[in-house]
Amino acid sequence: MRALILVDIQNDFLPGGALAVPEGDAVVPVANRLMPDYDLVVATQDWHPADHLSFASQHAGCNVGEFVEVDGLEQILWPDHCVQDSRGAEFAAGLNIGGVDHVVQKGTNRRIDSYSGFFDNARRHATGLEELLRSQQVDAVDIVGLATDYCVKFTALDAVSLGFTTRVLTQGTRGVELDPGDCNRAVQEMQTAGVDVI
Ligand code: VGL
Ligand code: ZN
């Protein structure tokens, strides 16, 4: 069984959103077109409490893009985004939610970020995505969504490390590209790990 994983296709990652990914809206029609081709469609949803420690607003004197340490783990600071129950956290209006079988929320623990749809950044807590896929006999996953250089990358790296045959369909991904070349480096990292980047 092959599953489609839609990573964080939420208002805050689209143009006009709090953490807008350039051309982020371009992934929506691609996701909609792909959904009917899969046995199972899972959407991840970045779902932060309002005082999440990945937000620069929670660290006095710190700016977006700076690094801080939280519980011994390096954390890059983001603008407030995908706050639980806010409009920015909702799935993109144009996304065919009816085609999504399951939603997996992540980033809910204030103290730790979760780029991957499978685990938090320390790999201490699982989101339940792996169990869900295994319970449906999924052995291969295709991934689209946002952002190539963060949540898509870490979701793909975890998927392949868990033994799923993993593809990233670049037509349906866009990146933040904080530093020029981040997306290309992400693609190389994924390929080195055994992800098929198409
Ligand atoms: C993401 C930064 C912070 C993502 C989520 O979905 O790629 N990036 N939270
Ligand atoms: Zn986030």
Q: Can you list the domains of the chain with their CATH numbers?
A: 2-48+83-197 (3.40.50.850)
* pLDDT value at residue 53: 98
Active-site residue 82, yes or no?
A: no
**Residues sharing a CB contact under 8 Å with residue 185, sequence separation 6 or more, in sequence order:** 149
**What is the CB < 6 Å shell around ligand 1?**
8, 13, 46, 78, 146-147, 150-151
* pLDDT value at residue 126: 98
8 A C-beta contact, residue 7 and residue 145: yes
Q: Which of 12, 151, 153, 183 is catalytic?
A: 151
Cα 139 to middle of ligand 2, angstroms: 27
pTM of the model: 0.98
Give one DSSP letter per residue of 162-187, joined into a string.
TT-EEEEEEEEEE---SSTTHHHHHH
**Which residue positions in the chain have pLDDT lower than 70?**
none
Cα 125 to middle of ligand 2, angstroms: 16
Q: Whose CA is nearest to atom 4 of ligand 1?
A: 151
Active-site residue 153, yes or no?
A: no
Active-site residue 151, yes or no?
A: yes
**pLDDT of 62-115, one tens digit each?**
999 999 999 999 999 999 999 999 999 999 999 999 999 999 999 999 999 999
